[in-house]
Chain A
Amino acid sequence: MHAELGDFLSEIVQNAIESGGDVIRVEILQDPEHFEFIVSDNGRGIDRSGIERAMNPFYSDGTKHPGRRVGLGLPFLVQAVQAVEGVFEFESEPGKGTRVRGSFPLAHLDTPPLGDIVFSMVSCLAFPGTFEMYLRRTKIYPNNPKASLDYTIERNELLDALGGLETPGAMALIREYIESQEEEYGQIDLR
């Protein structure tokens, strides 16, 4: 089981990258009560019976790891969300794509810690592949609008600015870039 919320995010984003699609949208939303992410892709998608099977930890379609029959990614998320009475949504259509939403109440004792969300974003953006990724990050604090954030990062723009994303130097610059977006209004984390 994953130790941090950022780990669930990485896992679901990786599924999207491996879905065969070329456009991935990631939304990371946070308010004083919740942490949630929505990941959608335009990849191969799965049908209704496939959705049921994907929730079964003892099933994998065999394309990700040929010869293997287990896939724990989605079941991990389902289990973690259920344990804290959060929200899990999964929509998928063959040939059109998949959308996964996981929402965690931050006050629940069993909600895992956030972890290093900035580095989770870096690792999602730097994952090898030729896909476009739109990563939108929103933090809403109704009682403290100055601490609120809303920005979007486009992977192709980073690629254009940095020339490549698979070097430690490029990854460090992406981290610096994201940290600067996060710090504009002061780093406020209510957890």
Chain B
Amino acid sequence: MAKLTLDDLRKLREEKRQALEIRETDNKTIQVIVGMGTSGIAAGAKRTLNQFMTCIEQYNLTSVSLRQTGSIGLDHAEPVVEVKMPGMPDIIYGRVDPEVAKLIVERHILGKELVNDHVFDRPAPDIVEG
């Protein structure tokens, strides 16, 4: 593989964007937020993030943003992932290994169904309010 330049990146992005604009039917944004605090990283959150990246790309889901954040809370259930999308309640999933990440893309984002075994509560109040 030849070394890519920043101009190549620009072109690739442009090609991708044109392909996406044809498919895009609505601009509703779906947010996937992966907790990358100490315990998240220790529990393998980077592999989870990698899987979301690969899987969302594979399904050509154009309106999904993929964000990293510090600890979301629920450290006992790391890796922890929050999914926000129109038409579904905001959900915090726990113990999201790469396999579960794939399930979340296929069932939650594509199928609008919860991945029940991995639904966890909202974060503890001390994390939210300090």
Decide if the interface of chain A is mainly helix, strand, loop or mixed: helix
Closest to A128 in B: B67
Whole-angstrom distance from the CB of B39 to the nearest CB of chain A?
8
Closest to A169 in B: B16
A158 contacts the other chain (CB 8 A): yes
Residue pair A119, B52 in contact (C-beta under 8 Å): no
In the complex, what distance in Å separates the CA atom of A66 from the CA atom of B56? Answer: 33
In the complex, what distance in Å separates the CA atom of A115 from the CA atom of B46? Answer: 10
Residue pair B66, A64 in contact (C-beta under 8 Å): no
Decide if the interface of chain B is mainly helix, strand, loop or mixed: helix
Other-chain contact of A170, B2, B3, B13 (Cβ < 8 Å): B13
In the complex, what distance in Å separates the CA atom of A1 from the CA atom of B39? Answer: 8
Residues in A141-191 with C-beta less than 8 Å from chain B: 157-158, 160-163, 166-173, 175-177, 179-181, 183-184
Residue pair A2, B41 in contact (C-beta under 8 Å): yes
In the complex, what distance in Å separates the CA atom of A168 from the CA atom of B105? Answer: 12
In the complex, what distance in Å separates the CA atom of A181 from the CA atom of B6? Answer: 12
Residue pair B46, A123 in contact (C-beta under 8 Å): yes
Q: Which of A72, A167, A183 has the most CB of B within 10 A?
A: A167
A56 contacts the other chain (CB 8 A): no
Binds B, one of A6-14, A33-41, A42-50: A6-14
